[in-house]
Structure 1
Amino acid sequence: MNIKSPLTQFNDVELVSTLSVKKLIDDWQQAFQIKISDELYKHSEIQLYRCNQTRLLFFHPFDTAGSDKLYEQLEKFDWYYMPRKWEHDVAIEDLQDCKKVLEVGCGQGAFVERLCKQIQLDAVGIELNSSAVNFALNKGIPVIKTNLDSFSEHKASYFDAVCTFQVLEHVSDPFSFIESMLKLIKPGGKLIISVPNSESFSKYSPNNLLDQPPHHMTRWCQTTFDSLTTIFPLKVEKFRIEPLAKYHVEWYLSIQIYRLFKLKLIRRLALRSSNFFLRPILKNIPILRNPITGHTLYVVFTVKS
């Protein structure tokens, strides 16, 4: 089988690992009580590959990306559409000189609402999840239910900036996705992207279900984003790496304990001790969390004229 990178369209790729679809289905049912067999029924295995030119990690087959139905089930968890994220605060600073801003995959519209009310921008979001769109519209937030391809055909070179937060990793065709976003941006405008950082502590998680199909289709690092400047008319303006977030402290500690101790009994004892001693310290003293590489990688590009 001739597997090609979804970014470069070249077959300079290497196999990293293979996932059992049956195990994924069982694990999702146990962890989230969500049935994903309808999402993956065509396949018995899913492969993770690395693009050697860009260092992008991607899952194949490409048709294992989750449907709208999957996201409607995930939004029942209060942690799924977080109204305020670290990257939102950073992006607010980077959008001060913009007037028209689009957020792609805006969920329930929390960031769009902040742009409109906090810094009075002409902002709009697009989203595919009908339930999330209805939630936003009921709050008076300007969110449109549409896909990126069709929207980009009608708003070419219209926006000063396009943002997308924790969305790119869900897309099985990142080249087309980025290309469509670029159509929407004026020359000299900004493209702002945040994704889970594949070089963060989470890469050591033994079975991170949300970082696999049908949820995530790609994994990104700073090297991969740097490589986009050789594929698209883009210039990197800045990278930011999120420090360890307060709400990720338990996850971070559990991963470190899993790495350090092999015996289950020792792990349980270590986890209990860390919850008693380390967890409250890390949660309550931000200066101790700041040196730790957190979940999110944030990048600002300028679109070349």
Structure 2
Amino acid sequence: MERVSAKLLHDLWRLGARVEPEPLRRDGGSIGLYRSPCGLMFFHPAAAGSPAFYQAFYERFRGYEMLGRQAATRGDFRAGAALARPGDRVLDVGCGEGAFAALLPAGARYTGLEPHGAPRASPHVLAETAETHAARRPGAYDLACAFQVLEHAADPLGLASAMVGCLAPGGLLVLAMPVWPSPHTEIPNNLVNLPPHHLTWWNEGACRALAARLGLEVARVEALPAYPSQAVVHWTRLLCAPRARPGRRVRAGWRFHAAIGLAYGAAKLLAPVLGLPPGARPLDIVLVARKPARTLIATGT
């Protein structure tokens, strides 16, 4: 679909976000954006952000604090919490400081995984990967969630498979990811939706293909209505004169960069006052799928 210059992308992260985009190399040639037959958009080679990148990124933009403040109004959190019942064992992969726990019903037993080690995390947050946890606690959960996590993984199928390994028979997998097309994919040079931060963009076909590969029964796939904390993205898209188009999602030029920067700066001022603009479209998609209650074993006669 498109070739993105690693040099340009590296410079945009360093100059625009003031973050070193490890492991992205300035002399890395180019990165391809591809579309699979199921509809998944993915970058290759898939170089996921390093722990040092995420530590700097979240410190620079106070990411953990922001996620904690937004928890109660986040549509993905609310969709996941609505599926939990009192007494359920709930796993939250890539949980940050565990803000999702506050939305669960009384009596639900929460465990969060944050491999990068979130500051000020509760004792219920473990600094380990889903793969390590699945090996240690197979089939231990009734609900396994990952909110805005799968798009960061170089191997999303492997991550989702590890989460399924953590589920008891009949348990639910809940995944929320950025949807495309959306205002996110219409803003050019939108770093939060580019490597090494986001490596995949999702739609209904991609979600259903993932569930099929995992052997799960799809309960629901739907785009989530826009929610208040997404207002900055929507205003940026409305105020930004340049538009990202197929083949031209990442572009060079100081006038081009200035237009995007001014739109983002104005959006940050308008969003707290005006909230979501009228007609705000979804930015996320949620997949809810069930692990089979029992495994059928074929026998010969």
TM-score computed with the length of structure 1 as normaliser:
0.79
The counterpart of 2:53, out of the listed 61, 70, 74, is 70
Partner amino acid, structure 1, of 2:54:
Y
Secondary structure of 1:228 counterpart? helix
Change (3 A) 1:152 1:41: farther
Partner of residue 247, structure 2: none
The counterpart of 2:288, out of the listed 271, 276, 300, is 300
Partner of residue 78, structure 2: 89
The separation in 2 between residues aligned to 1:17 and 1:47, in whole angstroms, is 6
Runs of 4+ in 1 over 6 A off after TM superposition: 260-264, 278-281
Q: Does structure 1 residue 166 correspond to structure 2 residue 148?
A: yes
Question: In the alignment, is the contact (CA less than 8 A) between 1:239 and 1:298 conserved in 2?
Answer: yes
Partner of residue 125, structure 1: 112
Partner of residue 9, structure 1: none
Partner amino acid, structure 2, of 1:224:
A
The separation in 2 between residues aligned to 1:44 and 1:236, in whole angstroms, is 39
Question: In the alignment, is the contact (CA less than 8 A) between 1:17 and 1:47 conserved in 2?
Answer: yes
| 1:145-183 Cα deviation digits (max 9, x unpaired) | 111112111111111010000000000111111111111
Question: In the alignment, is the contact (CA less than 8 A) between 2:141 and 2:168 conserved in 1?
Answer: yes
Change (3 A) 1:32 1:257: closer
Change (3 A) 1:179 1:37: closer
Question: In the alignment, is the contact (CA less than 8 A) between 1:65 and 1:215 conserved in 2?
Answer: yes
Q: Which sections of structure 2, spanning at least 5 residues, go unmatched? A: 245-254, 294-301
Partner of residue 121, structure 2: 136
Question: In the alignment, is the contact (CA less than 8 A) between 2:6 and 2:24 conserved in 1?
Answer: no
Partner amino acid, structure 1, of 2:238:
Q
Question: In the alignment, is the contact (CA less than 8 A) between 1:98 and 1:160 conserved in 2?
Answer: no
1:87 deviates by 1.4
Change (3 A) 1:100 1:261: closer
1:107 deviates by 0.8
The separation in 2 between residues aligned to 1:253 and 1:43, in whole angstroms, is 33
Partner amino acid, structure 2, of 1:295:
L
Question: In the alignment, is the contact (CA less than 8 A) between 1:98 and 1:161 conserved in 2?
Answer: no
1:198 deviates by 1.7
1:252 deviates by 1.7
Partner of residue 230, structure 1: 212
Partner of residue 239, structure 1: 221
Q: Does structure 1 residue 60 correspond to structure 2 residue 44?
A: yes
Q: CA RMSD in A?
A: 2.9
Partner amino acid, structure 2, of 1:75:
Y
The separation in 2 between residues aligned to 1:188 and 1:245, in whole angstroms, is 30
1:194 deviates by 0.6
Change (3 A) 1:29 1:258: same
1:144 deviates by 0.7
The separation in 1 between residues aligned to 2:203 and 2:225, in whole angstroms, is 15
Partner amino acid, structure 1, of 2:185:
K
Report the more deviating stretch, 155-164 or 73-82.
73-82
Question: In the alignment, is the contact (CA less than 8 A) between 2:217 and 2:289 conserved in 1?
Answer: yes
Partner of residue 196, structure 2: 214
The separation in 2 between residues aligned to 1:17 and 1:242, in whole angstroms, is 27
Secondary structure of 1:70 counterpart? helix
Secondary structure of 2:240 counterpart? helix
Q: Which sections of structure 1, spanning at least 5 residues, go unmatched? A: 1-15
The counterpart of 1:101, out of the listed 90, 100, 106, is 90
The counterpart of 1:36, out of the listed 21, 24, 27, is 21
Secondary structure of 1:293 counterpart? coil
Partner of residue 25, structure 1: 10
